[in-house]
Chains A and B, each alone.
Chain A
Amino acid sequence: MSSRKEGSKAELRRRRLGLIFLAIVVLFAVIPILIRVPFVTHILVLAFIYAIAAASWDLLSGYTGQLSFAHGAFLATGAYFCAIVTENLGWPPWVSILGAGVFMMVVGAGVGAPALRLHGHYLAITTLSINEIIRLVSMNWVSFTGGPYGFVVARRDFPGSPFPSFPQDPTLSKTYFYYLALGCLVVCGLTMYFLCERSRVGKAFKSIREDEDLAESLGINVTFYKVLAFSLSCFFVGIAGGLYATYIKLVDPSIALATNSGLIVGMVLLGGRGTIWGAAIGGISLYVAYQLLRFVGVVYNLIAVGAVIVVFIILFPAGIWGIVETALIKAEGGVLYKRRSE
């Protein structure tokens, strides 16, 4: 009896969450119509791009438990790939954004391979050093990446491309990118959400996070799913990187700084690990806060990122999402089952 009741309640909650989700998307969709300030649009475009990156980190580290401290550098690699193929090979932006995703998927599988051997601490240290290596390479390989000054995407014409080209007018291009980035965030987020929450793959990811040995003993191919998680996560962060390169048209090594990886980690911690949407919301809010704090002072945004990580991991390990979820369940008078991260 109670299980059916619980089931219908869960269904109800799911529908309500779906409605909230739709409302938020609609809200974001009307923002550029209501507020015609290019700066706001600009910040939100970047916030959406970072939200995709944060959600992809969540898929890897929040769901599968494989800690990566290199997502800033992965974002940069995707951006560099996109910029270089657009500029040097003349790939149309659409193709190069997707290409960045596919390229990063391959890179992710390559990085995932050592993860077969490495556990916990070792993996974290490896990804930290991968981050530094990518930064050093992008900084020092001047002929290929443009070195410290960055790589500029100046090409505007893509003859023979069946796809419509991107608008060149700055204001129009901002609005265009706003909807493109929002669309990408929704599509990528939904894909990740269904993968992680509604499919067998997500169950395998979670079982690896909870207990790798137990998962293996139950017949789950741990190796396969770890590499899958790595390449999927890198695919989405590559898409984010491609969007970044196409939008900003300048890719420089500062994106690959370890603090940028820290920013992505902070976003997920703020939003809530293992929730995808929480991570995306955390990504948008922390990025907006990060940019607004620039008005206070140039370094205070980084101080805020550090403070968010420290405070949230000690006091609210479940993030905003966890707090809201707990409140919702309590308001319904439901049973508060113990979340893993609490």
Chain B
Amino acid sequence: MKRESTVKPAVVALILSAAVVGGVLVLYFLKQQTILDFLFLGILMSGIYALFALGLSLVFGVMDIINAAHGELYALGGYFAFTALLIAPSHLLSVVLVIAGTGVFGFLMYYGAIRPLARRSVTENKGALFLVLTLGISILLKSVFIAVLGAGYKSISPFVGGSLNVLGIALPLYRVVIFAISIALLVLLSLFVKFTKTGMAIRAVEQNAAAAQAVGIALERIYILVFCLASVFAGLAGWLLTPILQVWPTVGAFILLKGFAIVILGGLGSMYGVIIASVILGVTESFTVLLFSSEWRNLAAFVILFVILLVKPSGLLGRRKEKR
């Protein structure tokens, strides 16, 4: 954490200046109003991205696991909301089902798959095994989605409609609301991690699991908490984004690669990095649509991912982890 704070101002200044230079260049070529439109839309999108990627980052930071099934947890959120709205047209009920469903699913996944593997006395690098394991779970879930709900696209209606005027720009109200919800959740999480005793324990485990255990922190409880929290966040992201993006069985791979791009850009395991990287990805995607066309927007994530991996694999705010 200390190293992060020493790196942060310089990096933030760098990003901001790059953004300003880029913005001025783009403004030069296009009309100002469109730019602002797309800038806002990009920023609004980044809230959900951050919500999704934070779980990925948290699970990596605390448990040293890259959860390749995180995208399926997102899809699960969307599907739970879809099913709940089929049963009863109440958005409150659907959000309760999403939270409970993805939370319970995360719990089951931890106890059914992650913990048995963690408990095996394997001498080799476990990170790789966990990645293969979660990949297997991801394939399993994908095909279960197809088997149960069919391969088609499913959509749910947004809980608010209409638009909001900000600085003379008409923004879709739903996007503003989900951005606000995401930010609220992120703030709540960071407060929780910063100030509560459990949050301190999470940070301790993140820094050094063995030492944390030595001072009496029950690792198992922290792991289960973090994993369920990450699952619920992914599920909520799925619930919030489904009215815009729809949900389909392989949506997980689609969103997971964006999550990877964000997490790598921000630095594996860094919370602030995730938020900054989400804004960068959201705005980049949005401007890609403006400058080229909407087909290329999904390529933005890959380009970011590759440049970062080749230039600075530890990301913007990443701490240097051990090789293994």
Of residues 98 through 123 on chain B, the ones whose CB sits less than 8 Å from some CB of chain A are: 113, 116-117, 120, 122-123
Total number of A residues with any Cβ neighbor in B under 8 Å: 48
User: Cβ of A250 < 8 Å from any Cβ of B?
Assistant: no
Residues from chain B with a CB closer than 8 A to the CB of A114 are: 309-310
User: Cβ of B317 < 8 Å from any Cβ of A?
Assistant: no
The residue in chain B whose Cβ has the minimal distance to the Cβ of A211 is B324
Residues from chain B with a CB closer than 8 A to the CB of A212 are: 323
Provided the pairs A299-B143, A303-B144, A341-B124 are in contact, do residues A310 and B136 lie with their beta carbons within 8 angstroms?
A: yes
Contact with B along A135-154 (1 / 0, CB 8 A): 01000100000000000000
Residues from chain B with a CB closer than 8 A to the CB of A117 are: 309-310, 313
B305 and A129 contact, CB distance less than 8 A:
yes
A121 and B127 contact, CB distance less than 8 A:
yes
User: Cβ of A314 < 8 Å from any Cβ of B?
Assistant: yes
User: Cβ of A265 < 8 Å from any Cβ of B?
Assistant: yes
Total number of B residues with any Cβ neighbor in A under 8 Å: 45
User: Cβ of A108 < 8 Å from any Cβ of B?
Assistant: no
Contact with A along B267-284 (1 / 0, CB 8 A): 010000000000000000
Of residues 305 through 335 on chain A, the ones whose CB sits less than 8 Å from some CB of chain B are: 305-310, 313-315, 317
Residues from chain A with a CB closer than 8 A to the CB of B298 are: 136
B324 and A306 contact, CB distance less than 8 A:
no
User: Cβ of B141 < 8 Å from any Cβ of A?
Assistant: yes
User: Cβ of B184 < 8 Å from any Cβ of A?
Assistant: no
User: Cβ of B204 < 8 Å from any Cβ of A?
Assistant: no
A341 and B147 contact, CB distance less than 8 A:
no
B310 and A124 contact, CB distance less than 8 A:
no
Provided the pairs A125-B264, A306-B141 are in contact, do residues A262 and B120 lie with their beta carbons within 8 angstroms?
A: no
Of residues 31 through 85 on chain B, the ones whose CB sits less than 8 Å from some CB of chain A are: 60, 66, 68
User: Cβ of B187 < 8 Å from any Cβ of A?
Assistant: no
B219 to chain A, nearest CB (A): 19
B260 and A129 contact, CB distance less than 8 A:
yes
B232 to chain A, nearest CB (A): 22
User: Cβ of A119 < 8 Å from any Cβ of B?
Assistant: yes
B95 to chain A, nearest CB (A): 29
B133 and A340 contact, CB distance less than 8 A:
no
CB < 8 Å: which of A61, A67, A302 contacts B143? A302
Residues from chain A with a CB closer than 8 A to the CB of B120 are: 314, 317
CB < 8 Å: which of A120, A133, A136, A310 contacts B137? A310
> Whole-angstrom distance between the alpha carbons of A308 and B129 in the complex?
14
Q: Which 8 A-B pairs have the closest CB atoms?
A: A309-B136, A306-B140, A302-B143, A306-B139, A310-B136, A303-B143, A299-B146, A299-B143
Chain A residues in contact with chain B, CB under 8 A? 61, 65, 67, 69, 114, 117-122, 124-126, 128-129, 132-133, 136, 140, 209-210, 212-213, 258-259, 262, 265-266, 269, 297, 299-300, 302-303, 305-310, 313-315, 317, 340-342
20 additional contacts, CB 8 Å, given A129-B302, A317-B129?
Answer: A114-B309, A119-B324, A120-B128, A121-B60, A125-B260, A129-B305, A132-B302, A209-B124, A259-B139, A262-B135, A262-B138, A299-B143, A300-B143, A306-B137, A309-B136, A310-B113, A310-B137, A314-B117, A340-B123, A341-B122
